[in-house]
Amino acid sequence: MTTASTAQPTASQPLPPTDAKERVSQWMKQLQDKICQALESTDGAGKFQQDEWEREEGGGGRSRVIREGNVLEQGGVNFSEVWGSHLPPSILTQRPEAAGHKFYATGTSMVLHPRNPYVPTVHLNYRYFEAGPVWWFGGGIDLTPYYPFAEDAAHFHKTLKQACDNHHPEYYPVFKRWCDEYFYLKHRQETRGVGGIFFDYQDGREGQLYRGPQTDSSAAVYSNQLGHQPPRSWEEIFAFVRDCGEAFLPSYLPIVDRRRNMEYGDRERNFQLYRRGRYVEFNLVYDRGTIFGLQTNGRTESILMSLPPLVRWEYGYAPEPNTPEAELYETFLKPQDWANWKS
């Protein structure tokens, strides 16, 4: 295959290994395999259907979708590996030095929409990018509950914090705040869920851990207080990303096991469908992966796989006071220190 041209080192950014693309691609596919196998075992009925595809400009992927299972109403776990000559505006805005170079991008993404409203939706995405002298890792994972269970949010965050702490004591504090910032619906003035971790443009250069667009956000302020961080090697960042990917199953499956058999009725189902609308709004308006995929002529079916199978909107909805739905809005849709949550 023909991929991006060989990157040249810069004074501030080290050169990745010559086999970087092959190693990351292999791990991304292994992550997809491991997640799909575990989810099929947990669900007990649903099976993933694989759809392999090719991109005309270069590359392709394999999309796997599960439907109508015991636990999962619908879910998708995608792997993609694409390359080409023309970078989309969303990349050039952030890294103009990549202009004029061929690019390579690979990643694994996942969104699960459970049937039971007491089981939260979960999203994962890890990716790697090269273009000439530029390379970076990005990604994250976040949890979107429909009903408020503090022990679930705390377990999810504590598991992710441990994965982060194994590599850098400030990864979790910065990337947790970055996640709260990224998965925020400005037009609704609420977070999508209880967050998790999110990071982007992690390329080994010395400087701030936070490399997002908002200079006055909580993540930016915290990162600035830490000062410049020393350079990190490609190997160090790749090891961190791998551990984050491996943290998904222990962070999420115990929550599924706790909630999957809880009884629910029309009220809970209707609220779940209403809150799924927020998921649609975020993915179509703000999500970088969706925007990048559409701007690079990616496979539309795979890009929009993240959308739920059923959803509803309701004009002027407000939860009744002193209900679980109200607690979700009052506590769970605002940033909290879940890793240190005390019941």
Domains and CATH numbers, the chain: 20-340 (3.40.1500.10)
Gap between the Cα atoms of 116 and 237, Å rounded: 36
For 92-114, how does the pLDDT look when each residue is reduced to its tens digit (9 = 90+)? Answer: 887 888 888 889 999 999 999 99
Residues 310-332: pLDDT tens digits? 999 999 999 999 999 999 999 99
Burial call 5-40: b when 16+ CB within 10 Å, e when fewer: eebeeeeebbebeeebbeebbebbbebbeebbeebb
Cα–Cα dist 199/208, whole Å? 12
**Amino acid of residue 32:** Q
Choosing from 101, 113, 123, 155, the catalytic residue is 123
Residue 123 known to be catalytic: yes
Residue 124 CB: number of other CB atoms within 10 A?
A: 23
Rounded distance, CA 200 to CA 212, Å?
Answer: 8
Higher pLDDT, 1 or 302: 302
- Whole-prediction pTM: 0.91
**Pairwise CA distance, residues 156 & 129, whole Å:** 27
Query: Per-residue pLDDT tens for 68-80?
Result: 999 999 999 999 9
pLDDT tens digits for range 203-261: 989 999 999 989 999 999 999 999 999 999 999 999 999 999 999 999 999 999 999 99
User: In angstroms, what is the C-alpha Rg of the chain?
Assistant: 20
Q: Which residues pair with 75 in a beta bridge?
A: 66, 112
pLDDT value for 6: 34
